Amino acid sequence: MTAVKTRITELLGIKYPIFQGGMAWIAEHTLASAVSNAGGLGIIAGGSAPIDYLRDQIRQTKAAVGDKPFGVNIMLMSPNADDLAKLVIEEGVPVVTTGAGNPGKYMAAWKEAGIKVIPVIPSVALAKRMERAGADAVVAEGTESGGHIGENTTMCLVPQVVDAVEIPVIAAGGIADGRGIAASFMLGAEGVQVGTRFLAAEECQIHPTYKELVVKAKDTDSIVTGRSTGHPCRNVKTKFAKMLANGEKDGSLTPEKFEEITLGSLRKAVQDGNLEEGSFLCGAIAGMVTKIEPAKDMIEEMFKQAEELLGK
Ligand code: TUI
């Protein structure tokens, strides 16, 4: 079967137009290399990890994928963003995605180094700005996504971004099967980014408790916390997440106290499976993720279904 060809498969030289989200603390070399080796674009999360750790992650991924492309996500709110922006150039990383901010100040150096730059954006205005700054494509991320989110939904955001820019658009937020991929293509996207489904990949090294929460989640089991701080994040609706959201709503939890309680909570979820103090980020589509399996099987199944629906 020939896979769907788009400007994204051509730009990056990949078989399937699918990115694995660069999820902070989660997306390390085993997951990224499994996705790239399966014909998608695996992405290592920069998060707020130390530079030496990330250099090692990049080298391990390179060794595992050979000449296949992979990416690094730079979370722009991270204190290490400047150093990581240099590291991706030094290490010859082929693709950079960015999140949680405007990567404008790094664009010229990345383009000069031949890096394909694909910012994640939550609005038309930012998509246009990124196009003007020289982005090769954008990921239009709807509020259905896990983690740090904007306000607009994937269904509304993607076609508006497609209309506003000439560069290719990758849809993200709420996509976990071939129907989501086919729907994204109908909205004008030329690729998809998937995060939550890959949490259940065999190669994803999160704590077993985290995987179990995602696999057992129902349609209504995600909740947004952090609205009071200006950094809303979608999580699995654990007791801890409900306590945070309720405290924000009734005013008993100040933004300062919120920041204090959630400091380190991503690490506590991913590494320790700590249900009392961990933030288990996940998208609103978690209810549809029910099986732990290799990333390759996920990708092949999703595209088989998408291609059948799209009638090629
Ligand atoms: O970045 C994400 N998702 C994330 S980052 C993350 S780690 C984190 N840790 C602590 C606090 C917050 C996050 C977990 N999940 N997705 C991409 C994304 N980017 N979503 C929204 C945005 C965004 C928001 C504002 C991109 C640009 C932007 O620009 C504002 C500006 O500077 O103009």
**Per-residue confidence of the chain (312 residues) as pLDDT tens digits?**
457 999 999 999 999 999 999 999 999 999 999 999 999 999 999 999 999 999 999 999 999 999 999 999 999 999 999 999 999 999 999 999 999 999 999 999 999 999 999 999 999 999 999 999 999 999 999 999 999 999 999 999 999 999 999 999 999 999 999 999 999 999 999 999 999 999 999 999 999 999 999 999 999 999 999 999 999 999 999 999 999 999 999 999 999 999 999 999 999 999 999 999 999 999 999 999 999 999 999 999 999 999 999 996
* Closest residue CA from atom 23 of ligand 1: 100
Is the minimum distance from the CB of 101 to ligand 1 under 6 angstroms?
yes
Rounded-to-integer distance, Cα 58 and Cα 43, Å:
10
Domains and CATH numbers, the chain: 7-204+289-311 (3.20.20.70), 218-281 (no CATH)
Q: What is the pLDDT of residue 3?
A: 75
- For a pocket test of ligand 1, which of 75, 144, 199 has the largest count of ligand atoms closer than 8 A to its C-beta? 75
Helix 81-90 to helix 51-65 angle (10° resolution) is: 30
Q: What is the pLDDT of residue 14?
A: 98
Question: In Å, how far from its chain's centre is CA 83?
Answer: 21
Q: What is the pLDDT of residue 2?
A: 57
The residue assigned the tokens 């996504």 is 145
**If you compute the radius of gyration of the chain from its CA atoms, what whole number of angstroms results?**
18
Q: Residues 154, 140: contact at Cβ < 8 Å?
A: yes
* Closest residue CA from atom 15 of ligand 1: 147
Dihedral pair phi/psi, residue 130, rounded to 5°: -70, -35
Helix 295-310 to helix 29-37 angle (10° resolution) is: 40
Dihedral pair phi/psi, residue 28, rounded to 5°: -110, -170
Is the minimum distance from the CB of 103 to ligand 1 under 6 angstroms?
no
The residue assigned the tokens 């080796």 is 37
* Cα dihedral 27, 172, 176, 41 in deg (nearest 10): -50
Q: How far is the CA of 49 from the centre of ligand 1 (A)?
A: 16
